[in-house]
Structure 1
Amino acid sequence: MDRAAVVSGRRSPSGPEYNVSTSTLAFDQDFTRTGKGILLMAEIVCGMLVWILVGGTEYFHLPALCWVMFVAILCWVLTVCLFIIYLTGAHKRIPQVPWTTLSLCLNCSAAALYLVTAVVDALTVNQAIRGRHNYNCWAASAFFAFLTTLCYAGSSFLSYRAWKTTEDEQ
């Protein structure tokens, strides 16, 4: 080893140096400020409240509420996945997937499913005995199901506009 390197405490590089950080995904903090990002976050929060409020009760005795749980959890998981894809910019890294069409289909399907779910939830609450301890949770879940339906309808509108724009460009 070179005497200058020993005295200064530095070693001369024995081989090529590699850049360890090679991440291609990045957090897009501006996405959370867009209409699409805000609606996705609202869908996640309101959808989570629906399945938490129903899941904390003895919903399995009522088949209608089992449907509510199925739709709420399915849509919530798919929405969280889509949010992560947009938040990390993965949709830009995988151009083979028609993201605008996929987002449009997901949002329209979720809006339709949640509309049916909200009505089923509200009708179940209406039939429930008002004095039962689960009544308030089911009533709150019906409210948040309708709110989630509105969020998905708004996302459907934004997705349709984005889809129409990409269709016109082609």
Structure 2
Amino acid sequence: MEEPQRARSHTVTTTASSFAENFSTTSSSFAYDREFLRTLPGLLIVAEIVLGLLVWTLIAGTEYFRVPAFGWVMFVAVFYWVLTVFFLIIYITMTYTRIPQGLCFNGSAFVLYLSAAIVDASSVSPERDSHNFNSWAASSFFAFLVTICYAGNTYFSFIAWRSRTIQ
């Protein structure tokens, strides 16, 4: 004999979620490291920003285009000033934990700033307009100070990199 067919029951479960609920659980927030600016590398980055700003504003306020060597100094000073501000933001927000350390950045900044500081110092010559001379001499002084700051951060980046490779 044939058995009668039973009616099959289907259970459907639905869930509703809003975009806001999903967004709040999946988004990550940036951490803020207040103590970084109190460390020696943090203080060096702040010094690099302040002194680098002095280098390029002292040159930009003059007729630097009359001396072609100052074009190189301006390029290095503005380029690394912008990148250093960017790296300060990366360090303060602790994004560097997701991005490799800046040994290459600090090393290249040191080498190029050293060359720019030497070019800056060798291009300074007294002329009739003492405003240009004073600004160029001051920019040369600050370029060497920024070079020292980048050298310090290169050293600290090297030590941090070396401690990671030994482990």
Q: 5+ unaligned residues in a row in structure 1: which ranges?
A: 1-14
TM-align CA RMSD: 2.0
2:35 aligned with 1:61, yes or no?
Answer: no
For 1:70 and 1:131, the matched residues in 2 are separated by: 24
Equivalent AA in structure 2 for residue 26 of structure 1: A
Aligned length: 148
Equivalent AA in structure 2 for residue 147 of structure 1: L
* Counterpart in the other structure of 2:47: 42
Runs of 4+ in 1 over 3 A off after TM superposition: 15-23
Post-superposition offset of 1:73: 0.5
For 1:39 and 1:133, the matched residues in 2 are separated by: 29
For 1:130 and 1:27, the matched residues in 2 are separated by: 51
For 2:159 and 2:148, the matched residues in 1 are separated by: 17
TM-score, normalised by the number of residues in structure 1: 0.80
* Counterpart in the other structure of 2:106: 107
* Secondary structure, counterpart of 1:47 in structure 2: helix
* Counterpart in the other structure of 2:139: 141
Q: C-alpha deviations, 1:27-49, integer Å up to 9, x for none?
A: 21111111111111111111011
Q: 5+ unaligned residues in a row in structure 2: which ranges?
A: 1-16
* Counterpart in the other structure of 1:119: 118
For 1:27 and 1:138, the matched residues in 2 are separated by: 38
* Counterpart in the other structure of 1:167: 165
TM-score, normalised by the number of residues in structure 2: 0.81
Alignment of 1:22-41 (within 5 A): 24-41=29-46
Bigger Rg over Cα:
2
